[in-house]
Amino acid sequence: MRLELEPRVLRSRWATAAISAGSMLLGLVAGAAVLALAGVNPVEAYAAILRASILGGAYAISDTLVKATPLLLCGLGCAVAFRARLWNVGAEGQLLLGAWAATGVASFWLPAGTPAPLMLTAMALAGCLAGALWAGIAGWLKASLEVNEVITSLMLVYVAQRLLAFFIFGRWSEAGFPLTPVFPRSAWLPRLSDLDSFSGLTVHLGLAVALAACLGVWLAMSRSIWGFEIRLLGDSPSAARYAGLPVARRIVGTMLVAGALAGLAGMLEVAGVGHRLQDRFSPGYGFIAIAVAWLGRLHPVGVLASALVFSALLVGAKEVQPAGIAQMLQGAVMLVAVAGDFLVRYRVRLVTGEVRAT
C-alpha cells in the first residue's frame, strides 16, 4: 500500500474553491493549536470573534462590512498585480497616500463650499492618482531595471508612513493632536445611519463603490484584451514577449491599476469612516489584502468572499487579547493555503496491492 501522486491536467474550479475554503478552516485549526499553546482558550477566542463580527446582530455585521470595503479594494489591487506575477506587497503605502491626497483635497485644496458630488469625485480621483503614482514607482523600476518590486513596494510603505506622520503630527495637525481637522460636510460619504430608521449603522457608500470595482475588475480581467495580456504575462512572461506584448508598459500599467484601487480604498476610508486623517487609521488593510487576494485565488469573486472572512476576523480579533492573534491566524491561513495548492496540482491516490512496473 502506498501513496501515488498524479499531476492534474485539468484543474476543476470547484475543487480549487473547496481547497481554498478547506485551507481557511485548516489554518484556523492550526491557529487554534497555537492559541492553546499560548495559553488562550481557542474556543472562547473564536466564539468572541464570531460574536463581534457576525452573530452580534446588525451593528456587528455593519462593522464587518465597513472593514471589508478597504480590504476588498486593496485585495482587488493585489489580485490584479499578482495575476501578472507582480508582487505588489505595498498596498498599505498606496492606501495611505490615497487617504493623504483625499484629505488634502477635502480640507485644504478645495473650498469648503464645494458641492458634495464634485468634492467627492475630486477626492476619489486624487486618491486613485496618489495611490497609482506610489505603486507606479515600484512598477517603473521593475520594468526598466528589473528592480525587485517586493522590496521597493514595501520600502515605500515605510516612506509613506513617515510622510503621513509629518502631515498628521505637524503640517496639518489640529491643535497638536495626531489628527487633521474634520472635513467639511460635503466631503462626507453618505452612510446608512444618515437615514432615521438605520441609526447607528455605519455602512457607507464606499461599499457600493468597492462592489462596483469588483465587477469592473472581473470584466477587465476576463473579458478584455488588457486582462488577457495581464494573465498571459503572469503565466508565461517569455510567451508574452515573443507575442510582441509591450511587457514594460503592461507592468507599469498593472501597477498603476493596483495602486489606484488601493488609493481609492484610502480615500473611502477617510471620507466614509474617519472624516479626517488620523494617526494609525488603517489597521494594516494593505497587508491583510495580500492574504485576501491569495485566498481569493486572485479571482474577483473569491477576493470578495475572502475580504468578508478577513474583515470578520479583523473586527472580531479586537475582542481577543493579546493583540497579534489576528495577524498570526492570517499567516497560518496563508501558509496552509499555499500548502493546499499541492492538492490542486496533484491527485493523491492510495494504491493498494502490487506495485505497478513503470
Partner 1 sequence: VSAPGAIGFVENLLAAGVSRGTPILLAAVGELLAERSGVLNLGVEGMMLLGAAVGYAVAHATGCLALGFFAAMAATALLSSAHAFVSVTLGGDQVVSGLGLGFFGAGLAAVVGADLVGVTGVPRAPAVEVELLARIPIVGPALFAQNAVVYVGIGVAALAWAYLYRTRWGLKLRAVGDNPTAADAQGVRVGLLRHLHVAAGGALAGLGGASLSLAITPGWVDGMTAGIGWIAVGLVIFGGWDPLRVALGAYLFGAIRRLPLDLQGLDGLPFLKNPSLGYFLDMLPYLFTIAVLVVAGLSRFRKRFAAPAALGTAFVRGERGR
Choice between 90 and 127, CB closer to partner 1: 90
Amino acid identity for residue 159 in this structure: V
Out of 97, 120, 154, 230, which residue is the one contacting partner 1 (CB under 8 A)? 154
Q: What sign has the CA pseudo-torsion 128, 130, 133, 139?
A: negative
Nearest to 337 by CA among 32, 24, 82: 24
Q: 167-206: which residues touch partner 1 (CB under 8 A)? A: 169-171
- Regarding 2 and contact with partner 1 (CB under 8 A), the answer is no
Out of 87, 100, 172, 310, which residue is the one contacting partner 1 (CB under 8 A)? 87
Choice between 319 and 341, CB closer to partner 1: 341
Q: Which stretch binds partner 1 (CB under 8 A): 59-67, 99-107, 155-163, 269-277?
A: 155-163
Which residue shows C-alpha cell 509613506?
Answer: 160
What lies within 8 Å, CB to CB, of 268 at 6+ separation is 69, 70, 73, 124, 127, 189, 204, 206, 209, 210
The full DSSP string for 34-58 is HHHHTT--HHHHHHHHHIIIIIT-H
Residue 94 and residue 263 in contact, taking contact as beta carbons nearer than 8 Å: yes
Write the DSSP symbol of residue 354.
S
- Regarding 36 and contact with partner 1 (CB under 8 A), the answer is no
Q: What sign has the CA pseudo-torsion 44, 48, 50, 51?
A: positive
- Regarding 130 and contact with partner 1 (CB under 8 A), the answer is no
Q: What are φ and ψ of residue 2, in 5° steps?
A: -155, 170
Minimum gap (Å) between residue 328 Cβ and partner 1: 3
Minimum gap (Å) between residue 327 Cβ and partner 1: 3
Choice between 141 and 308, CB closer to partner 1: 141
Minimum gap (Å) between residue 221 Cβ and partner 1: 19
Choice between 13 and 171, CB closer to partner 1: 171
- Regarding 248 and contact with partner 1 (CB under 8 A), the answer is no
- Regarding 61 and contact with partner 1 (CB under 8 A), the answer is no
3-state secondary structure (DSSP) of residue 108:
helix
What lies within 8 Å, CB to CB, of 16 at 6+ separation is 297, 344
Residue 137 and residue 156 in contact, taking contact as beta carbons nearer than 8 Å: yes
Minimum gap (Å) between residue 344 Cβ and partner 1: 10
d(CA 148, CA 251): 13
3-state secondary structure (DSSP) of residue 241:
helix
Minimum gap (Å) between residue 121 Cβ and partner 1: 31
Minimum gap (Å) between residue 49 Cβ and partner 1: 14
- Regarding 290 and contact with partner 1 (CB under 8 A), the answer is yes
d(CA 340, CA 342): 5
Minimum gap (Å) between residue 91 Cβ and partner 1: 12
Q: 310-349: which residues touch partner 1 (CB under 8 A)? A: 321-335, 337-339, 341-342, 345
Q: Is 244 left (phi over 0), alpha (psi -120 to 50) or beta?
A: left
Residue 277 and residue 173 in contact, taking contact as beta carbons nearer than 8 Å: no
- Regarding 159 and contact with partner 1 (CB under 8 A), the answer is yes
Out of 15, 21, 155, 247, which residue is the one contacting partner 1 (CB under 8 A)? 155
Choice between 116 and 150, CB closer to partner 1: 150
Choice between 216 and 324, CB closer to partner 1: 324
Site of interaction with partner 1 (CB under 8 A): 34, 38, 40, 87, 89, 141, 145-148, 150-152, 154-156, 158-159, 162-163, 165-166, 169-171, 287, 290-291, 294, 321-335, 337-339, 341-342, 345
